[in-house]
Structure 1
Amino acid sequence: MLYSTRTAAEKRAALRAELATGRLLRLPGAFNPLSARLIERKGFEGVYISGAVLSADLGLPDIGLTTLTEVAGRSQQIARMTNLPAIVDADTGFGEPMNVARTVQTLEDAGVAGLHIEDQVNPKRCGHLDGKQVVDEDTVLKRIRAAVQGRRDQNLLIMARTDIRAVDGMQAAIDRAKALVDAGADAIFPEAMRDLSEFEAIRGAVDVPVLANMTEFGKSELFSTTQLANIGINIVIYPVSLLRLAMGAAERGLDTIIAEGSLNPVLGEMQHRADLYELIDYAAYNAFDEGVFNFTVEK
């Protein structure tokens, strides 16, 4: 009932322990708190909070228009609704090194288990679009050092994302990944790898966990969990997938109203009210205070 039964500190420690096993952790992107609860119900190991999804949810493109306040607020809503650890996209850190440290503490207060800071020029672009620019090495290393220094819970996972592969090539990505680890990054997120061998090259270059982004319609192939696990990838995210599925279904439903005048043809595609009530645990609220909730769910 209500929110997570695990504290943020417990979830951070759990994420660290899971990463230490070396197995692949699957983190679908939650587009709202309810979808985070569904991700947990289905047995995944964590929840990802995508900057692209947060932007899209506001009707905005993913070009650095969201604010720290917006990201932290949505992160808190999602993280507190699940016992799973949540990792959030912190873009470029929302400013210079001191701002990055504040970003880390603000997101720490929001209850996330980890976050990633990237090396794009601000305002950034979606990692799978052309025309990206990255900052010089000194600038991004200052961002990561500030992030590491800013955290108060040492179990908060500070991940460094690099977009340099699309700008300067694969060797530059390997070199930057190594430098980011030396600066204190707990994990590496190499964005827009072209094929499995490129992920494998990053995996072989660093001794910290590596994340693979399996976003649809991007630069990377959609590799299976088996393929990623076989080369030693530790985290795989599906950042926008649930939003795309939901919006696709919503569009088809609206088209059905226009074409048929009723949603009867697509009732079988909808989540039943009974399933929704089970997911949000209406029964527990009813038991807590029958004076507020007293009803029977119709089957």
Structure 2
Amino acid sequence: MGSIGATNGNDSNVKACSPFTGAKRLRELLKDPSKVVICPGVFDGFTARLAIAAGYDAMYMTGAGTSMSKLGWADLGIATLDDMRGNAEMIASLNPSVPLIADADTGYGGPVMVTRTVTQYARAGVAALHIEDQVQEKRCGHLLGKQIVDRDIYFSRLRAAVLARDQLQSDIVIIARTDARQTYGFDEAIERLQEAVKIGVDVVFLEALQTKEEMEKVCKIMGDTPVLLNVVPGGVTPEYAVEEVSKMGFRIIIYPGLCIGPLLESVSKELKVLQTTGKASPKSSAGGVKEAFNLCGLQECIDIDKQAGGKAYSTVGQ
């Protein structure tokens, strides 16, 4: 299975020299059947920088995190194509050799809009995206009350996505996601994904699996087609360690809420400290800000300016 710390995310110059970037890199990772691609959920430049520095092989841009961080609203289908593509483009650009898998919801409309979504994501440097079968007024995959479109509508979305990928001659990875398990059962979800493979998608994603048996079964049924697992602590899918999930046969594991909970807890605590004591905690010192600046490219900017003969940042790093 894949190593979480396999690359040195702090050495951006070395990684930039990789022969693979974005989608090509992800496809190369998926060629190895013993490899599982572990993707922490990120939603802005800061969380993406932290994931890159930690050395992850790939990242996942969560739609829920994007909606909450960019718009301040829960994941209820409020974010638009422009919201999602803009955020994905920014994250993907931070280190193009670290593949970004991005939520693309329902594709934001009919077949024409789906082709537009795939085109914009591909040109933004996104390595992979997933299209789902919820109605346009969608919600987070682990919430109750999801409404699912008919097969014909879902398949038309996937055909449009595959058509756009092929017409662009792009390596972007198309992931078919189905939320049909909750409403119509496991067998219906499987049949939708089997047809999705015939249409030409690259990866399948059965959202909200409910038992270990279902988890093992979907991987067995899908055979050589890579299967993605969504890990949401407290959600309907049982949570297992990476090693066990890899043995089940999953090839990509995403953790959409990985950064959301710690951020909520730590920032809420710091705000309370200031409110109750009248001063910030020592952890909120200027040293922490400098560390964050370095994480987010301060030294690279200083080096570029120096190499270009500039003096704008000559004292910044002192």
TM-score when scaled to structure 2? 0.87
1:117–1:143 Cα contact (<8 Å) kept: yes
Q: Could you tell me which residue of structure 2 aligns to residue 237 of structure 1?
A: 254
| Displacement of 1:296 | 5.7
- Note if 1:106 corresponds to 2:120: yes
Q: How far does residue 267 in structure 1 lie from its aligned partner after superposition? A: 4.8
| One of 276, 279, 286 as aligned partner of 2:295 | 279
Q: Post-superposition shift, 1:104?
A: 0.5
What's the secondary structure of 2:29's corresponding residue? helix
Name the stretch that deviates more: 134-143 or 215-224.
215-224
Asked if the contact 2:51/2:59 (under 8 Å) is kept, the reply is yes
Give, in whole Å, the separation in 2 of the partners of 1:89 and 1:43. 22
**Which residue number in structure 1 is paired with residue 200 of structure 2?**
184
**Residue 77 (structure 1) aligns with:** 90
| Unpaired segments ≥5 residues, structure 1 | none
Structure 2 CA distance, aligned partners of 1:6 and 1:104? 26
Q: Deviations over 1:48-76 (max 9, x none)?
A: 11111111111112111111111111111
Structure 1 counterpart SS, 2:65: helix
Aligned-residue offset at 1:266: 4.7
Q: Is the 8 A contact 2:274 2:281 kept in 1?
A: no
Q: What corresponds to 1:96 in structure 2?
A: 110
The alpha-carbon distance between structure 1 residues 271 and 143, as it changes in their structure 2 partners (threshold 3 A), is farther
Seen in structure 2, the aligned counterparts of structure 1 residues 199 and 39 have a Cα distance that, compared at 3 Å, is same
Regions of 4+ moved over 3 Å: 4-9, 265-268
The DSSP-based 3-state class of the residue aligned with 1:289 is helix
Q: Distance in 1 between matches of 2:277 and 2:317?
A: 29
SS of the residue corresponding to residue 17 of structure 1 reads helix
- The change in CA–CA distance for 1:265 and 1:285 in structure 2 (over 3 A counts) is closer
Distance 1:27 1:265 in 2: 32
Task: Give the residue type in structure 2 aligned to 1:157.
Answer: V
Asked whether the 8 Å contact 1:9–1:153 carries over to 2, the reply is: no
**CA–CA separation in structure 2 for the residues paired with 1:9 and 1:66:** 31
| Bigger relative CO (Cα 8 Å, ≥ 6 apart) | 1
CA deviations on 1:116-166 (whole Å, 9 max, x unpaired) are 000111111111111111111111111101100012134210000000111
Aligned-partner SS, 2:226: coil
Give the one of 20, 25, 44 matched to 1:14.
25
Partner-residue secondary structure (3-state), 2:129: strand
Number of aligned residue pairs: 296
State the secondary structure of the residue aligned to 1:80.
helix
Work out whether residues 219 and 227 of structure 2, in 8 Å CA contact, stay in contact via their aligned partners in 1.
yes
- Are the aligned partners of 1:33 and 1:79 in contact in 2 as well (CA < 8 Å)? no
Residue 265 (structure 1) shift: 5.7
Structure 2 portions without partners, runs of 5+:
1-11
| Shift, 1:297, TM fit | 4.4
Percent identity of the aligned residues? Answer: 33
Cα deviation for residue 176 of structure 1 reads 1.6
> Which residue of the partner structure matches residue 8 of structure 2?
none
Report if aligned partners of 2:65, 2:260 keep a CA contact under 8 Å in 1: yes
Whether the 8 Å contact between 2:36 and 2:246 is mirrored in structure 1 is yes
Equivalent in the alignment of 1:44 = 56
Kept after mapping to 1: 8 A contact 2:142/2:235:
yes
- 8 Å contact kept, 1:8–1:111: no
Question: Cα offset for 1:15?
Answer: 0.5
In structure 2, C-alpha distance between the alignment counterparts of 1:271 and 1:140, rounded to whole Å: 51
Q: Pairwise CA RMSD of aligned residues?
A: 2.2
Larger deviation, residues 15-24 vs 169-178: 169-178
